[in-house]
Structure formats: structure tokens, C-alpha cells
Amino acid sequence: MKNKTTIHDIAKALSIDASTVSRALNNSPRVNQKTKDRILSKANELGYQRNLLASNLRKNKTNTIGVIVPRISRHFFSSVISGIEEAAYDAGYNVIICQSLEQLKRERDIVGTLLANRVAGVLLSVSMETNDYDHLLNMKNNGTPFLFFDRHCDIEGISSVLIDDVQGGFDATEHLILNGCKNIGHFSGPQKLSIYKNRLAGYIKALEKYKIPYRPELVLRSSLMEIDGTEGAKTLLSLPHKIDGLFSANDIAAIGAMKYFKNEGIRIPDEIAIVGFSNEPISEVIDPSLTTIDQPGFQIGQISTKLLLEEINKSSNLKKANKTILKSSLIERDSSRK
């Protein structure tokens, strides 16, 4: 029952040559409109279904771009994906989405499969485990254009689209300070990832600006799970100086902390003010008065895609590594009900 209609079948049915059919199907200007019409209607009649495998093989290129994210369920990434899809769709490209689940092994496998499928290019945000770049260097040598977004590696000639995390961390911390906080905790993440390193740097920079001593025991590393937030909150509360502010570099941990604080009967933000760094809508929902640092996911997706498409279409190898840095914005929500 499998569809077997090929251009030859429809050529035979019309007593013409397959090459003409091919041209017609690709809407080549060098074919008579009448024959085009006949071909199209016959193709329809026979239930012809173009075989992209063959076409792509012959042309030695595809119009598919691969996207690798740690997890599609994270709001930031799914908003980036929306941006990617929109930009890709406009340019006539398909998108195939893959998740590394924060595992290096899976990231490697995925890169392999994408290359084997001859994708036109790849957009990726590396996993937390990615400290070995062989698979990426391999992709580079292979000649497949790719681009990092949000989480990147330093590889010569490879561009990135990033957020100004130092500034974001600074803004978050400054906001807490200006609201009277003096003992500010910080939930960070793996320092291998520059986003967490940079947010921490912003945190420290703000403390310095306001002459608040930096106390390392207030900085906790998490691995982006809710449990890290609850555990972290507990740890912070056990310190001699009680904290009055918390800057979390990711929302999931912030949520864990909020739950813990609430369970302990600690009022937010009166007793402990919190700023979360992410755009999970969840943080807005948990407490509508919560201030967050918003990341422009959709925009990142669009920009990354446009840059990637430029590289794909650029036959010249003059590509210079660009870093596009976007700004996040501090969003202070309505707190009139407080």
C-alpha cells in the first residue's frame, strides 16, 4: 500500500520525460505552463508525494536546521524555539528539535545524527556536562555552520547569541540593595557555564558598588532542580546572619526556596525579598509581586536563526566569530496588593 508514485510514473502516464516532470514540480520557468498544469494535475491524481531523501541526496543539501537544547520543557528554551521556528519558516526551512537532557553523551549522539542527516546548520545551547568539545570541533571541520545561543563554548570562528548576564546579575542584586537588603544570598549554577559565572560576577559587582562585603558562604551552587532551592533555602537560614534578600540565577531553584520560606512562615518579600533570573511564567504566578529578570527568548531565537541562515548562504569562508549580546530586563510586577 506504500505510496510508490515517482516522477517516472507520472512521466510515463503523460508520455513525457521524467526530467520535465522534475522541472515542473520545482516550478522551473523553462517549462510550458500547459505541460506544467497537466503534470501537476496528474501528480495530484496519482497521489504523488515528493521524496525529499532523494532530492536532498542529489542536491547534497537540505533545508532543515537542527536545534539542540537541554530541555524543551524549560520555558526559556521553548520561547527561543518559537522564535527559531518563526524565522526558519519564513525562510523556507524546517526545524528539527532535539533535547540533550543536559547529558554530554546525548548531545554527541544528536550532533552525529544531525550531521548524518546533512542538516543545513545547527543552533545549540550546550548541556551542563559539556566540557569536551570534540563533537563540536568535528562539526566545524565538517563544514556544517552552527551557532551557540545562551550557553556557549569558546570555539574559534563560531558565533554566539548571548544575554548580558553580568548586567542581569548586577541589576537583580542592585534592585535588592536599593530595596534595603543587606544580606543577600545567591543561588548559582555550574561555574563551567559562563551564564552562571557571569551572573555571579554581576552579583559581586553590585555588592562592590554599594560597599557590601562579599561573603562566599551566601553563594550556593545548584543544578537547577527545585530540591536545590529548598535545600539552599534551608542552608541559608541556618547561617548566623539571617538573609534578607535572595538572588536566584534560575527560577526552578527560586520556586523551591519560595515554597520552603512559605512553609516556614517567612513573609515574602517583607522578610526576604527575591529576584529570580529567568522568564519562566511560573515565577510570576507563584507570587505576582515577584520581581524577575526577563530574558528575551523569542528574540534570541529569531536573531540566532537569521545569523545562521546568513552563514549557510554565505559561500565565502570569511566568517568571523560574532558575539551578539542582548540585554535582559528587570521586570517589577504590580505589587499594589501588598
Partner DNA sequence: CTGTTAGCGCCTTCAC
Partner DNA sequence: GTGAAGGCGCTAACAG
Contacts 24+ apart (CB under 8 A), 19-27: 25/50
| Stretch near a second copy under the rule CB under 8 A, chosen from 147-155, 171-179, 234-242, 277-285 | 277-285
Residue 10, SS3 per DSSP? helix
Contacted entry of DNA, a second copy, none for residue 141, CB cut-off 5 to 8 Å set by kind: a second copy
Under DSSP, the state recorded for 136 is: H
257 binds DNA (CB under 7 A): no
Whole-angstrom distance, CA of residue 217 vs CA of residue 235: 10
Query: In the range 47-86, which residues lie near a second copy by CB under 8 A?
Result: 47, 49-54, 56-57, 62, 72-73, 75, 78-79, 81-82, 85
> Which residue type occupies 145?
P
Closest CA to 197 of 217, 228, 218, 168: 168
Please count the residues of this chain forming the interface with a second copy, following the rule CB under 8 A: 47
Q: Please enumerate in sequence order all residues whose Cβ is within 8 A of that of 29, keeping only pairs 6 or more positions apart, or say none.
A: none
Least distance (Å) between residue 80 CB and DNA: 31
Among 18, 155, 282, 326, binds a second copy (CB under 8 A): 282
Cell 563533537 -> residue: 135
> Which residue type occupies 90?
D
Interface pattern 47-76 for DNA (x via CB under 7 A): ---xx--xx-xxxx----------------
Q: At what angle do helices 165-178 and 194-209 cross, to 10 degrees?
A: 40
Beta bridge partners of 276: 248, 292
Contacted entry of a second copy, DNA, none for residue 299, CB cut-off 5 to 8 Å set by kind: none
What does the binding site for DNA look like in residue numbers (CB under 7 A)?
4, 6-8, 15-20, 22-23, 25-26, 29-35, 50-51, 54-55, 57-60
What does the binding site for a second copy look like in residue numbers (CB under 8 A)?
1-3, 47, 49-54, 56-57, 62, 72-73, 75, 78-79, 81-82, 85, 94-99, 113, 115-118, 138, 141-143, 255, 259, 262-263, 281-282, 285-286, 288, 317, 337
